[in-house]
Each structure stands twice: as C-alpha cells, then as structure tokens.
Amino acid sequence: MKIKVLLFFALLPMLLVGQSKPIAQHSTQAGKKVLIVVSSYGKKEGKLRPGFEFDEYSQAYLIFKANGLEIDVASPKGGPAEADEFNRAKAYNKELLEDKVAMAKLQHTIPTAKVNPALYSAIYVVGGKGAMFDLPYDPSLQELISSIYKKPDGVIAAVCHGPAAFVNVKLEDGSYLIANRKITGFCNEEEDKFGKTWKAEFPFLLEDKLKARGAQYERNAAMLPQLIRDGKLITGQNPFSTTVLAEELVRAIGVEPVSRTLYPDERSINLVDKYLKGATSWAEEELRKNHGAYDLELIAVYGYYGLIKGDGSKEGIGSALGIIELVKPWVSNENLEYEMARGYLKLGNKEKAKAILQQVVAKAPSFKEAKKLLEEIN
C-alpha cells in the first residue's frame, strides 16, 4: 500500500474500491422525472479549469435509474460537460461508463435555458469545484430551481459544492430561498484541507455564503457523510453524502428506494463515522468479522490524514490513532507506522512509539526519519 497523504482528498476519486452487486431496479415510475445539473466550467485542454465531480453523477444516476426515474442532464452552456479526474475502476463509475445512455446525456447536456421545469419532479445539482464558478450565476438555472421548488411536490437537492447553485435563488417576495432553511454543503474546513488548489479563485466560500444568505448551516466532521432535509430542500455535505442524498430524493418524490449493496468506500466511511461517534466496540467487531467488505486502505488513510492535518489536540490524535489501529492487522506501511509513532509520542506513550519505530526500521533500514526518531527516543 502506498499512501499519498498530501494528495489523498484532493484526488479522492482516484482511490480504488472493490466491486459491488448491481442495484435491483424498479420499472419506470410514471411521471417521476429528475433533472441532473452539472457544471459547464470544466476544461482539460489549454488553461485547465475544474469541472463536475463524476462520482457524484454516477452514484446518483445509478440510484435514480434503479428506482425507475426518468433522467435528463442539463448544464449552463449545454453540450459536452467535463468532469474532474476520477477513478474509472470504481464499481459505480465503471458501471456508469458502460451505460451508453448515461454517457450520451453527459455529451449532450441540455442548456438550462431550454429546460421546461414543468416536466420534472426534482432537480439534483452535482458538485465539484467547477460548480462554484458558473452555477451561482446562471439565471436560467435559478429560475429552474425556483420553479421546481414552487411546485406542490417539487424537490430540489444538491451535494458537496452543488448548493452553490442555491445561493442567489430568490422567492417571489424577494427573499432568498435558503433563508432560515437547514442546509449543508462543502465546509470551510474541507476547503482549507482539501481544496487549496482552487480556493483562492473561488468567488466565495460555500459555507460562508450559505450562512450569509440566512441559512441554518449544519455539518459533520470533514469528509464524513452529512444529509440534511428541510422539507423539499435536500443537501449533502461532501462526496461521501451522495448515495444517501440520492435515496432521500427518491423518497421525497414518493418512491421507496430499492435495496442495494453498499460500496466498499461508502461502507468504510460510514464505519469511521460511527467509530468517531462512540461505536468503538462495534467497529472493531465488524472489521474482525467482515473486513473483506471494506476498503481498509481508505480507513487507514482517513486516520493517517488526521495525524498530519488534524487539529493537533490529544483527543484528535487519539481518534486518528484509533482509526488506524482498527485496520492495522491487515494494513502495513512504513510511512503510516512512522506517523503513528509520532502520534503516540505526542500522547506521551514513549514505549508504544519506540516499539513501532523498531518495527519500521527493521522492515525499512533506509527510512532515515524513522531511524533518527528512534535514536532520539533512546
């Protein structure tokens, strides 16, 4: 295992996950149609620009399709939409890439100015950093969101940076649609830790703007799932919130979602979330029995990142170490173990740190930093 920590969350979609069983499908739900909106901002040639998050498209699309919803895809400019880099080997991305209809919709997105809102039960806005640059300033999209929201049974939903599309939408009385509504979206901490490449160019920080519009912003810990539903408004905090948001949208328009097998990365982040909320014994037992169903490297990297990018508190260090210890029986890497040793030293556990460093040096004699730290302890 090679853990590229500094790039982990910036390149989060590139993490490998295992396959999962296809989702069972409903027959088409009569009159139930959802509009997926993606950013038109992405560009891979010339001056590179960020696009939409493919994982957030593929996961939601497959859930909508499995539950019998009709699907259209729109973007501000229409035509082909460019995604950010993503891992084609992920189960959901692989399935989506093989779906000719779904991929054709991305190549021929409908311009938002030509969309008839009367046709749709819901609108779902995909995130990705590109969403910050064009979606908030598309008047046609604002009108679509407002029109669908005003329908008695209309639902509006967005994930990650997708709620940026809501910040300038107003109601007939001139008030902002999201004022006094519970909402979530990519938080400032996530921007600071995982979005530095484009953060300086953003017209605003999403969390700040949502609050400025009078929304009641709520969040989970960084890169852990958070779903907020306030009536007909449904939002998810980050990419790991996509599947639960998509299923909640399905429920909101009156369809009970079909059962499905959780993806390994989804299952793994849920386990981390439960562990951090106190389910330590359950997490240990669950991995002991079913570790093959999890992305163990993802769990390790989450803890690893907590060691080097956390708040530095003893509680934070202890939680990060605890997460790594969950998967230590199956995951071995000298860089991971070196950071664990440093973490235990910060907690005052010199003997534990020494034992780990001795193992690291024995396995990797050329690891100079580990040898130096071991000598300092001795």
For domain 5-252, which architecture applies?
A: 3-Layer(aba) Sandwich (3.40)
Residues of the chain with CATH 1.25.40.10: 264-377
Helices 54-66 and 100-107, packing angle to 10 deg: 130
- DSSP structure string for 122-149: EEEE--STTHHHHGGG-HHHHHHHHHHH
Q: What is the pLDDT along the chain (378 residues), one digit of tens a residue?
A: 444 343 344 444 333 333 444 455 555 665 799 999 999 999 988 888 999 999 999 999 999 999 999 999 999 999 999 999 999 999 999 999 999 999 999 999 999 999 999 999 999 999 999 999 999 999 999 999 999 999 999 999 999 999 999 999 999 999 999 999 999 999 999 999 888 789 999 999 999 999 999 999 999 999 999 999 999 999 999 999 999 999 999 999 999 999 999 999 999 999 999 999 999 999 999 999 999 999 999 999 999 999 998 999 999 999 999 999 999 999 999 999 999 999 999 999 999 999 999 999 999 999 999 999 999 998
pTM exceeds 0.95: no
Residues of the chain with CATH 3.40.50.880: 5-252
| CATH class for the domain made up of 264-377 | mainly alpha
β-bridge pairing 233-236 and 227-230: antiparallel
